[in-house]
Amino acid sequence: MTDPPDARSPGASGNRKPPATIYDIARTAGVSPSTVSRALNKPGRINARTERRIRDVAEELGYRRNPMAGALPTGRTGTIGLIVSDVTNPVYFDLIHGAERVIASEGHTLVLADAQESPDTESETAERLLLSVDGLLLVGSRLDDARILELAEHKPLVLVNRSVPGLPGIVPDPLPGIRKALDHLASLGHRSIAFLSGPATSWMSGVRWETLLDEALRRDIGIVEIGPGIPTLEGGRQSLRRVRAARVTAVVAYNDLMAIGLLQAAKAADVDVPEDLSIIGFDDIFGSSLTTPTITTIRSPLDRVGETAIRRLIAELDEDDHSADVTLFTEFIERESTAPPRAR
């Protein structure tokens, strides 16, 4: 007995095909459900002929394993959650692609979720996802350490661009990129610069600032922090007033979005970039090479970061402890938004 032949158009409700179950397969193959389960999950563990037959029937019936039902007894969903502080932030594209690549090759499923730049949303999303994934990746988390540790109590969790003591975290070393950037600025003749910081909740912004501070000190370059600011074009635009007030000749922005925003505001105010003001961003997003001038920036190998993070998480799931610890580095990319300061 199937759907009545007069079923309405496919869009109409109420005529959905109930998916085939292992019981359906068992019945038409003349075996028990347990055997079906084995045939489908542990190839080789049962009679080759029966296995063949069962697989054929499954195929014929369009059988798909019900992931929820499968997860109940095993506690395994085959799914990995990736929570990004903002999915629409271009920064994370390469990371998402990197993650997708290894996820696919490992036969898991990726569930993407967006924290929408809000700790509350992030916390809630993480909690909701926690029950239906095998492990969680938190990218650029805005949560505090305590909350993250709490989440990690329930499922394996790997951090990206964030470090919490006791938890695995992938964060590319900011030092190489920052050193090159400051060398570059110094050689150009800049003596006084500013850092446009990101949100107060951004751990990464803190790391970048601390590193910058250290290295500026070491080179006898004056540096001030301007912020915290919102990590968007708008945030960058808003900072122009304070940048000018600070009388610096160059600024390093927390990210390219802010760098571009600052560039736009500068143009609008007839401040020439790079002649009057040099600007350096972070991340090398799509867009930072579209502006005029193009943005000099410090990039992370985010695709590698995504790959590495997923591999680390999968190792964690498999309780495989010898996950080789790769170290990743930032890299300086010189483009057009930096030049010698105008003599005054």
Partner DNA sequence: CTGAAAGCGCTTACAG
Q: Which residues bind its own copies (CB under 8 A)?
A: 9-11, 13-14, 16-17, 19, 64-69, 71-72, 77, 87-88, 90, 93, 96-97, 100, 104, 109-114, 116, 121, 125, 127-128, 130-132, 149, 152-156, 166-168, 260, 286-287, 290-292, 316, 319
Contact yes or no for 101/304 (Cβ under 8 A): no
249, with CB counted inside 10 A (0-12, 13-18, 19+), is buried
Q: Note if the bond before 293 is cis, omega within 30 degrees.
A: yes
SS3 47: coil
For the residues of 124-138, what is the DSSP string, one character each?
HHHHHHHTT-SEEEE
Report in angstroms how near the CB of residue 108 gets to DNA at its nearest: 15
Instruction: Give the span between the Cα atoms of 51 and 68, in whole angstroms.
Output: 24
Instruction: Give the span between the Cα atoms of 314 and 308, in whole angstroms.
Output: 10
Any residues with CB less than 8 A from the CB of 251 and at least 6 apart, and which?
193, 194, 195, 196, 226, 243, 262, 277, 278, 279, 280
248 to 267: interface string for DNA, x by CB under 7 A: --------------------
In Å, what is the CA distance from 236 to each residue of 119, 196, 261? 22, 8, 4
Residue 46 contacts which entry, its own copies, DNA, none (Cβ below 5-8 A, type-dependent): DNA
Specify the residue, 23 or 286, whose C-beta has the smaller distance to DNA.
23
If one asks whether residue 73 binds DNA (CB under 7 A), the answer comes out as yes
In Å, what is the CA distance from 7 to each residue of 15, 16, 17? 6, 10, 11
Q: Which of 15, 47, 88, 105 binds DNA (CB under 7 A)?
A: 47
Residue 35 contacts which entry, its own copies, DNA, none (Cβ below 5-8 A, type-dependent): DNA
Instruction: Give the span between the Cα atoms of 342 and 344, in whole angstroms.
Output: 6
Report in angstroms how near the CB of residue 20 gets to DNA at its nearest: 7
Q: Which of 28, 70, 112, 121 binds DNA (CB under 7 A)?
A: 70
Stretch in the footprint of DNA (CB under 7 A) among 18-26, 84-92, 274-282, 328-336 = 18-26
Identify the bridge partners of residue 196 per DSSP, sorted by sequence position. Answer: 226, 253
Residue 50 contacts which entry, its own copies, DNA, none (Cβ below 5-8 A, type-dependent): DNA
**Interstrand relation of 331-333 and 296-299 (parallel, antiparallel or unpaired):** antiparallel
The CA angle 131-132-136, to the nearest 5 degrees, is: 85
Specify the residue, 111 or 188, whose C-beta has the smaller distance to its own copies.
111
Residue 14 contacts which entry, its own copies, DNA, none (Cβ below 5-8 A, type-dependent): its own copies
Report in angstroms how near the CB of residue 343 gets to its own copies at its nearest: 27
Report in angstroms how near the CB of residue 62 gets to its own copies at its nearest: 9
Stretch in the footprint of DNA (CB under 7 A) among 9-17, 34-42, 102-110, 139-147 = 34-42
Residue 33 contacts which entry, its own copies, DNA, none (Cβ below 5-8 A, type-dependent): DNA
Instruction: Give the span between the Cα atoms of 90 and 81, in whole angstroms.
Output: 19
Report in angstroms how near the CB of residue 53 gets to DNA at its nearest: 9
Q: Tell me which residues touch DNA (CB under 7 A).
A: 18, 21-23, 31-35, 37-38, 40-41, 45-47, 50-51, 63, 65-66, 69-70, 72-74
